[in-house]
Amino acid sequence: MVESGSRVRGIQRTPEGHRLTVWSRSATSMELRLFDRDDPDWLRASLPMERVGDDFTIDTPLLELGTPYAVGVDGPTGPGHAFDPGRHAIPPHARGIVRTPHGQHRATVVDPAFDWGDVPRPHVPLDRQVIYEAHVKGLTKLSPHMPEELRGTYAGLAHPSTIGYLKDLGVTTVQLLPIHQFVSEQRLIRQGRVNYWGYNTLSWFAPHSDYASRGARFDGTGGVLREVKGMVRLLHEAGLQVFLDVVYNHTAEEGADGPPSSLRLIDNASYYRTGPDGECIDYTGCGNTLDCSEHAAEELVLDSLRYWHREVHVDGFRFDLAPVLGRRADGAFDPEHPLLRRIVTDPLLAGATMIAEPWDVGPDGWQTGRFPDGFGEWNDRYRDTARQFWLSDYRSFRHGGDGATGVGPLAHAVSGSEGLIASERGPLQSVNFITAHDGFTLADLTRYDRKHNEANGEENRDGTDGNHSYNHGIEGRTDDVAVQLDRRKSMRNLLGTLLVSAGVPMLTMGDEFGRSQRGNNNAYCQDSALTWMRWDRRDWQDAFLEQTRRLLQLRREHPALRPLEYGQTGQRVAGSSRLDWWNAAGLRMTIDDWDHSHDRTMQMLAESTPVEEPYSRVLVIFHGSPRDTRVTTPVADGATALELLWDSAADHQGAERVVPGDAVAMTAMSMRVYAVHGMPAAGAPAPTVMRLRSPASPPSPATTSPPTP
């Protein structure tokens, strides 16, 4: 059951059996339909439901554990309505879903009981979070470290070998691509393809059954749900948080000709955006749009979030195409939308992390930086800036151009994107990423100048063309050792930039060792070895994995790299990092250096002002020029030595210790990280810190992530 306002909706246990309550403002009648356990296509009984306000309810002993059920709904005709009492509708609060032999779906009555023991939720402060975006099936489908029946399942993700790998890597949080019950789009089914990513939700309460092990799938009393809860419990025991990627912007019912299965049959006019003639309004690119200006839709989203947070112990949520949730009745995005405010203030969601994907395809769809306090946001500006500085500008240099990005935009991104993210929200509201499930992998960013999505069956029209990638002279795989080494350095530059930046970093599954999808930047319909993570690695991949672990260790050990607040000019703020900027000559950056930096070199000296953490100072040298150079390190107050911690130009790290003011040799297009030893003199005045701001203007349409078709 789920409490929505003062009412309980869904299944509720009673002394006589179970009660089902379904909301519909527009319906005129509703009946409960019960099906045979062994053949859920066989209708056994139809029972009328009683109307109480806008709820329809029934108490019956026939609703037993494992019983498949649906509802039949009748109502008015006319624009906006889509009632069809001849069809079986899945109640939206159903916790279990089974598929019939003829390909339809039924809700099932499940047992919610689960022993959580004394396992607490991991408490991971925002500044220590490192998100690992993963696909439940893809992460372990090829794993040799577990029984075959567990590969690609919830239980496989929670297997000791998987948990050990994640812990050894150094991430804190596993963010799973959608695990709400989903189906493939009708277009993909006709093509003989499947929806692999899962952004086509059938039910916002039931876990996707195909990710469960065989025994759980055939346990209609809630085996799938128990396996999900068991996965969460084991991840929590290991200290790992669990976030879910949730799709509340649209459903699997698609457009007007799509397959009605739930909300459309129960009350289309109250759940979906429609035009004057009842046509679907599509702000998602998927055929329909949830109308969150309607109270029913708002309550349904909140009910689902509360359920997964309170009863399944999920720690956070990433909202796909999140502006949909903040659109008023007139379609305009409103940062003060009641649903957005309720998500971050609801006491039943206290402690949950909320992250917005801040764009959709509706009017004014790019809303990065505009979500209310309490939401983190995927920072696509950060992604594009880092890619352009290290990749597309590099290509420009190789072809005789000047490049388009100076050091200023990169400094703005690395220091927390203040100006794009409101100052009062702080840098930790920026979720920084170089790659995500949608787009090139990290390795493919350095292998391909253009997308190669031919296998998707859309004549390579799908997926973005604005990748800011660079193939380093050869498209695709090559045996040219020089090109291979150059690509790996570029990968390390991107990864190193991500992990020294203020904000919350997100890694994509497999990027830690250079996983490739052979140039497919929209592999949403590829459920194969193309998208599954390989566990057999080459020597260079093992070396790259070790570099990733090293960078994550540096981030953990140096609070200067993960400030809680933006620094203030001329003063220290507890929890902020004081950032000083120097040029290649070891002098403080001037306006000319920011705007017209010909050598594209800057040095960032980050100094922590901790609340309860050890003091740390770190020097990061960014050298974005295609020419080798010598960089004079800054003479910072009280600094006695610089210890090299990481160098993107080297496959394997070596020790180096220099005196502040010494010159160091920087390889073309590379970066270094040094620990700064020595304490500032007591009472030394703080230098004037240049605060880096940029206008929060939207990127060009070519660089705005499109939704999955």
Catalytic annotation, residues: 320, 357
**Token representation of residue 105:** 């779906």
Residue 493's alpha-carbon distances to 216, 244, 383, 583, 670, in angstroms, are 44, 29, 13, 19, 6
Q: How far apart are CA 328 and CA 628, in angstroms?
A: 54
**Token representation of residue 132:** 């690992």
DSSP string covering 303-340, please? HHHHIIIIIS---EEEETTGGGGGB-TTS-B-TT-HHH
Q: How far apart are CA 127 and CA 611, in angstroms?
A: 12
**Token representation of residue 167:** 């812990």
- In which residue are the tokens 């193939």 written? 471
Helix axes 539-557, 160-169, angle to 10 degrees: 60
Single-letter code of the amino acid located at 411 = A
Per DSSP, helices labelled H in 106-222 are: 136-140, 154-157, 160-169, 186-191, 214-217
Q: How far apart are CA 19 and CA 39, in angstroms?
A: 23
Q: How far apart are CA 505 and CA 495, in angstroms?
A: 10
Give burial (CB, 10 Å; 0-12/13-18/19+) of 464. middle
CB 284 within 8 A of CB 113: no
Can you list the positions of beta strands (E) in 24-67? 29-35, 43-48, 50-52, 55-60
Three-state SS at 176 = strand
Can you list the positions of beta strands (E) in 471-546? 504-508
Strand ranges of the sheet holding 657-658, from the earlier edge strand across to the other edge: 577-582, 601-608, 617-623, 670-677, 641-647, 657-658
- In which residue are the tokens 């090109």 written? 483
DSSP string covering 401-455, please? ---S--HHHHHHHHTT-BTTB-TTT-GGGEEEES--SSS--HHHHTT-SS---GG
**Token representation of residue 579:** 């950032």
CB 207 within 8 A of CB 537: no
Pairing of strands 316-319, 353-356: parallel
Q: How far apart are CA 121 and CA 37, in angstroms?
A: 36
Strand ranges of the sheet holding 50-52, from the earlier edge strand across to the other edge: 2-4, 7-14, 17-23, 55-60, 50-52
